[in-house]
Amino acid sequence: MNATSGATQQAIELIRERLGDRVSTNPAILEHHGHDESWHQGIPPDAVCFVRSIEEVSHIAATCSRLNIPLIPFGTGTGMEGHVVAVHGGISVDLSAMNEILDVNTEDFDCTVQAGVTRNQLNEHLRSTGLFFSVDPGADASIGGMAATRASGTNTVRYGTMRENVLRMKVVLADGRVITTAGRARKSAAGYDLTHLFVGSEGTLGIIVEVTVKLHGVPAAISAASVCFDGIDNAVQAVIMTMQSNIPMARIELLDGAQMAAINRYSRTDYAEKPTLFVEFHGSESAVSEQAAAFGEICSEHAGSAFAWTANTEERSTMWQARHNAAYAAMAVRPGARVLATDVCVPISRLAECIQQTRLDVERSCTLTTMLAGHVGDGNFHLVFILDPDSEEDFEQMQALYGRLIGRALAMDGTCSGEHGIGIGKRRYLVDEFGRDALDVMLSIKDALDPMGIMNPGKKLPAR
Amino acid sequence: MNATSGATQQAIELIRERLGDRVSTNPAILEHHGHDESWHQGIPPDAVCFVRSIEEVSHIAATCSRLNIPLIPFGTGTGMEGHVVAVHGGISVDLSAMNEILDVNTEDFDCTVQAGVTRNQLNEHLRSTGLFFSVDPGADASIGGMAATRASGTNTVRYGTMRENVLRMKVVLADGRVITTAGRARKSAAGYDLTHLFVGSEGTLGIIVEVTVKLHGVPAAISAASVCFDGIDNAVQAVIMTMQSNIPMARIELLDGAQMAAINRYSRTDYAEKPTLFVEFHGSESAVSEQAAAFGEICSEHAGSAFAWTANTEERSTMWQARHNAAYAAMAVRPGARVLATDVCVPISRLAECIQQTRLDVERSCTLTTMLAGHVGDGNFHLVFILDPDSEEDFEQMQALYGRLIGRALAMDGTCSGEHGIGIGKRRYLVDEFGRDALDVMLSIKDALDPMGIMNPGKKLPAR
């Protein structure tokens, strides 16, 4: 742990004057706020502030700005890239008590929530409206955290990521000023696009305190299925052909045999432990059955088998819950193991090649347990490594393979992160992904908005 | 015209060393490049450079940066807010000869074009692929210009604006550096979102030289219709009910009686000269007929009449061509008149109220000829004024009404520009739309990327 400096102590006292006992330095609470669900080593902050209003966040930022103390936003702690690790100490701003749903505009298909509202909480609230919020990472993350990391999930192929689903935000800047990024109109050609600048900024430009998201109509009919394949290549080819046949899938997920075995054990399901697609169609009754039939044909052409249409809502929700828990299932394979998920995303035309080369690379060079799960309709897949936490050799094997995987994805015009963000671990890959000049533009924006560098330092961008 | 300064003269000479006679100071060419299709008074640049490569644009920017000379990108000159007017003189960079389609990835539903490629040119090129580029402002604008102004058009309600359809860009920065904003993957959580920062930046942050856009599959079936109403309120209510019934329209356009009369005269059509909706559905045969039937019922409930489904491709294209030419039709109503189109956009739930209050305002306070056309599925409409160019009084009436219209839209959480951009004339409204602090963030980004302020000065943002 960092020794808490005099300036930090002073900041804590000043914030306490306003928040009282909602400022904590309890070691267990600090420890909890210093790590997420990723493999990254936790580092606790110097204090945690449990905020209840935008004014409080603004007061904290103004104070930290004056005293040059790092500020780290905290939602549910379910990040995958160490976003909340207090690498330079500082103040963790816990937004979980800012969990009010402020406004649901059913006529406009949007709603405004405080940053601490979670995706399940929101969908529970929307249940009677005939509308839903679509973005669904595995965890029950906060909407603010999902906006900050540009999160996505299983139905991005149809409804988009947070990038497409955030309409506007309120953000507290480094010096405590509060801005609203946009109006609530569906389109606008006014101003620079601040909304998209803050979506995915990982707390490094400001703290997101309020989010207006788009909602979608619950479809009249939903049809879902699982289908398995003897080889992973056949499964990927079936996905690509479905995409290219212009069949509008709502979800299309790939899981390899090892991941299916982990799911069976964790979620007590009995799927075939072979490469599997989970798929779902949304639309009118007739549209959905047209789509399902067309997809069935494509799977048959690619030797799909054990085709199982889920007959009802419970079966469907069991299947998707199993999918959402895939990361937890991987972590449970070897308790105490270090679990690391890669996150590359490539153009769909390169997906089969990328997965195939990666599997060959794993077979050739790696003795680690791995599994694969992916939002293949987006070209995004996670290769998951299960590591012995005490083995330096395991870690080095993984690092080398991970580096080659990212290199491969970038050579295919892809990205080192489809949805988990950059956090601590992937900053080094950004020069290769964007080039020095584009990275310098990003750094100059960072400098303009956060001249002292107090906003979640050590994350998102490499140092100059 | 500005007197060309010594530094400008020097810049022109330096650029001529590289571009030769593709640098023009011919008065007719200067005049042509100093105005667009809007009512804004033209001001010619000091020179026009007809560029052929990114390297040339980079060379020009580096030269102008060294000598502190304004740079103004020029696509087709079809802008609506005076974006190309050389308010501080300088060099116009005409990108129309950079019109190569570089790469069509049918498997990935995307393609990469040079900035000067126009939307019709691109769709012509795509004709045999089964794919199309969806964004369709009235004019045959360049893709670079459309990206720069965050343009949209008639099928935004289904396929989105340029904001949703640009995947990445190459941009020449103020000092001549060339950056690529992103990879070609469909989603990414890496880096700040430079793509969206440059989309809609109107040449004030850099010159867009290459754009990768999303493509969409040509639908299996298309069904289109026109339907007219006795009152404009009924038409708007029919649109809102269709939106809220979750019927996926591809296009839904409102035109008032005066606009229909102008269209009939300009396009030699014989529509009823009453408030009219033009609508289109895309999908499978069965989906389209379901949607069309549901829409027909909603129109009947709102006293829609003269319901006419277009039977074939020619009829449909006549109808949409008439719609795309609506602005030209308005300009032709009184030759020599000054025509001004407003561009507010509001949340759909406020649209009926916004249009109604605006019509009352026009009736009460205005003796001018007006007409109304709008992309009502987006909440966006254009009130068009036909002014006597010599009448100060006409202009003042329009200005007052325009100001009230924008105030009304902003009070409804809307925007002063749905798709035309800010350009010269609307900069004053941005403080009201975004607030001082958000505007200061935009200005600090502008300063970071263009410290000398040479990129299309006098546009997009107010002076500090």
B428-446: per-residue pLDDT in tens? Answer: 999 999 999 999 999 999 9
The partner residue sitting opposite B152, judged by closest CB among A187, A192, A196, is A187
Look at residue B397 and tell me if it is in a domain: yes
Report CA torsion sign: B320, B322, B323, B328. positive
Burial class of residue B124 in the structure, from the number of CB atoms within 10 Å of its CB (0-12 exposed, 13-18 middle, 19+ buried): exposed
The three-class DSSP label of residue A10 is helix
Together in a domain, A207 and A225: no
Could you give the CA distance from residue A196 to residue A57 in angstroms, rounded to a whole number?
A: 21
CB A224 within 8 A of CB A279: yes
Return the residue in A168, A171, A186 with the most chain B beta carbons within 10 A, the one to mutate for interface testing.
A186
The 10s digit of each residue's pLDDT in B244-284 is 888 889 999 999 999 999 999 999 999 999 999 999 999 88
Angle, helix B285-301 to helix A285-301, in steps of 10 degrees: 170
| Amino acid found at B285 | E
CB A45 within 8 A of CB A90: yes
Contact assignment for A187 to B441 by CB distance below 8 Å: no
What is the rounded average pLDDT of the residues B438-462? 98
Together in a domain, A359 and A376: yes
Q: Which of B87, B91, B54 is nearest to B72 (CA)?
A: B91
The three-class DSSP label of residue A99 is coil
- A442: left (phi > 0), else alpha (psi -120 to 50), else beta? alpha
**Residue B1 pLDDT level (bands cut at 50, 70, 90):** very low
Could you give the CA distance from residue B387 to residue B202 in angstroms, rounded to a whole number?
A: 27
Q: What are the chain A neighbours of B461 within 8 Å (beta carbons)?
A: 191-192
Contact assignment for B345 to A164 by CB distance below 8 Å: no
CB A36 within 8 A of CB A45: no
Average pLDDT, chain B: 95
Q: Nearest chain A Cα to B165, which residue?
A: A164
Query: In degrees, to the nearest 5, what angle opens at C-alpha A424 toward C-alphas A420 and A428?
Result: 95
Whole-model pTM: value is 0.96
The three-class DSSP label of residue A25 is coil
The partner residue sitting opposite A193, judged by closest CB among B106, B200, B429, is B200
Contact assignment for A187 to B347 by CB distance below 8 Å: no
Together in a domain, A354 and A440: yes
Among A198, A217, A236, the domain-final residue is: A217
Query: In degrees, to the nearest 5, what angle opens at C-alpha A389 toward C-alphas A385 and A392?
Result: 90
* Sole residue written with tokens 């012995």: A388
Together in a domain, B129 and B70: no
For residue B261 the two structure tokens come to: 């009369």
Together in a domain, B339 and B279: no
Report CA torsion sign: A295, A301, A304, A306. positive
Together in a domain, B160 and B213: yes
Could you give the CA distance from residue B16 to residue B51 in angstroms, rounded to a whole number?
A: 11
Q: What is the ipTM of this complex?
A: 0.96
- On the question of pLDDT at B240 being above 90, the answer is no
Q: What are the chain A neighbours of B217 within 8 Å (beta carbons)?
A: 246
User: β-strands A251-255, A369-375: how paired?
Assistant: antiparallel
pLDDT value of residue A1: 44
Q: Nearest chain B Cα to A248, which residue?
A: B283
Together in a domain, A374 and A269: no
For residue B250 the two structure tokens come to: 């591809």
What is the rounded (10 degree) CA torsion for B17, B21, B23, B25?
120
Q: Which of B133, B129, B139, B190 is nearest to B164 (CA)?
A: B133
| Amino acid found at B17 | E
pLDDT value of residue B245: 87
CATH code, domain carrying A442: 3.30.70.2740
A92 DSSP β-pair partners: A48, A72
pLDDT value of residue A243: 87
Q: Which of B51, B117, B37, B50 is nearest to B85 (CA)?
A: B37
Q: Nearest chain A Cα to B346, which residue?
A: A185
Look at residue B201 and tell me if it is in a domain: yes
Q: Nearest chain B Cα to A218, which residue?
A: B246
Q: How far is CA A95 from the centre of its chain?
A: 17
Other C-beta atoms within 10 Å of A314: how many? Answer: 9
Look at residue B461 and tell me if it is in a domain: no
| Amino acid found at A73 | P
What is the rounded (10 degree) CA torsion for B346, B349, B352, B354?
-40
CATH code, domain carrying B40: 3.30.43.10
Together in a domain, A226 and A296: yes
Q: Provide the CB-side half-sphere exposure for A137 (13 A, CA).
A: 26
Among B94, B124, B142, the domain-final residue is: B94
For residue B293 the two structure tokens come to: 């039937």
CATH code, domain carrying A165: 3.30.465.10
Together in a domain, B322 and B227: yes
- pLDDT above 90 as % of chain B: 89
Per-residue HEC secondary structure of chain B comes to CCCCCHHHHHHHHHHHHHHHHHEECCHHHHHHHCCCCCCCCCCCCCEEEECCCHHHHHHHHHHHHHHCCCEEEECCCCCCCCCCCCCCCCEEEECCCCCCEEEEEHHHCEEEEECCCEHHHHHHHHHHHCEECCCCCCCCCEHHHHHHHCCCCCCHHHHCCHHHHEEEEEEEECCCCEEECCCCCCCCCCCCCHHHHHCCCCCCCEEEEEEEEECEECCCEEEEEEEECCCHHHHHHHHHHHHHCCCCEEEEEEECHHHHHHHHHHHCCCCCCCCEEEEEEEECHHHHHHHHHHHHHHHHHCCCEEEEECCCHHHHHHHHHHHHCHHHHHHHHCCCCEEEECCCECCHHHHHHHHHHHHHHHHHHCCCEEEEEEEHHHCEEEEEEEECCCCHHHHHHHHHHHHHHHHHHHHCCCECCCCCCCCCCCHHHHHHHHCHHHHHHHHHHHHHHCCCCCECCCCCCCCC
Among A195, A217, A239, the domain-final residue is: A217
Q: What are the chain A neighbours of B420 within 8 Å (beta carbons)?
A: 189
CB B87 within 8 A of CB B43: yes
What is the rounded average pLDDT of the residues B198-202? 98
Q: How far is CA B95 from the centre of its chain?
A: 17
Look at residue A421 and tell me if it is in a domain: yes
The three-class DSSP label of residue A213 is strand
What is the rounded average pLDDT of the residues B67-77? 98
Contact assignment for B417 to A189 by CB distance below 8 Å: yes
Could you give the CA distance from residue A60 to residue A47 in angstroms, rounded to a whole number?
A: 12
Which residues fall within 8 angstroms of residue A121, CB to CB, at 6 or more apart? A99, A101, A140
| Amino acid found at B238 | A
Q: Which of B186, B215, B216, B217 is nearest to A413 (CA)?
A: B186
End-to-end CA distance of chain A: 26
Q: What are the chain B neighbours of A173 within 8 Å (beta carbons)?
A: 437, 441
Look at residue B443 and tell me if it is in a domain: no
User: β-strands A91-94, A71-74: how paired?
Assistant: parallel
Q: Nearest chain B Cα to A220, which residue?
A: B246
Together in a domain, A442 and A365: yes
Q: Which of B71, B131, B141 is nearest to B99 (CA)?
A: B141
Burial class of residue B27 in the structure, from the number of CB atoms within 10 Å of its CB (0-12 exposed, 13-18 middle, 19+ buried): exposed
Look at residue A1 and tell me if it is in a domain: no
Contact assignment for A414 to B200 by CB distance below 8 Å: no
CB B435 within 8 A of CB A168: no
Biggest CA–CA distance in chain B, Å, is 69
pLDDT value of residue A153: 94
Across A182-230, the runs of DSSP E, i.e. the strands, are: 206-214, 216-217, 221-228
- A339: left (phi > 0), else alpha (psi -120 to 50), else beta? beta
The domain tally of chain A equals 4
Q: What are the chain A neighbours of B182 within 8 Å (beta carbons)?
A: 415, 434
CATH code, domain carrying A246: 3.30.70.2190
Domain that includes residue A233, residue range:
221-328
Together in a domain, B236 and B289: yes
Instruction: Looking at the complex, report in whole angstroms how far the Cα of residue A61 sits from the nearest Cα belonging to chain B.
Output: 15
| Amino acid found at A262 | A
Q: Which of B118, B115, B113 is nearest to B102 (CA)?
A: B113
Together in a domain, A376 and A433: yes
| Amino acid found at B111 | C
Look at residue A463 and tell me if it is in a domain: no
Look at residue B452 and tell me if it is in a domain: no
The 10s digit of each residue's pLDDT in B78-130 is 999 999 999 999 999 999 999 999 999 999 999 999 999 999 999 999 999 99
Instruction: Looking at the complex, report in whole angstroms how far the Cα of residue B30 sits from the nearest Cα belonging to chain A.
Output: 27
Instruction: Looking at the complex, report in whole angstroms how far the Cα of residue A464 sits from the nearest Cα belonging to chain B.
Output: 14
The partner residue sitting opposite A179, judged by closest CB among B108, B217, B438, is B438
Residues of chain A with pLDDT under 50: 1-2
**Residue B3 pLDDT level (bands cut at 50, 70, 90):** low
Which residues fall within 8 angstroms of residue B47, CB to CB, at 6 or more apart? B8, B12, B15, B23, B24, B25, B30, B91, B92
Contact assignment for B283 to A287 by CB distance below 8 Å: yes
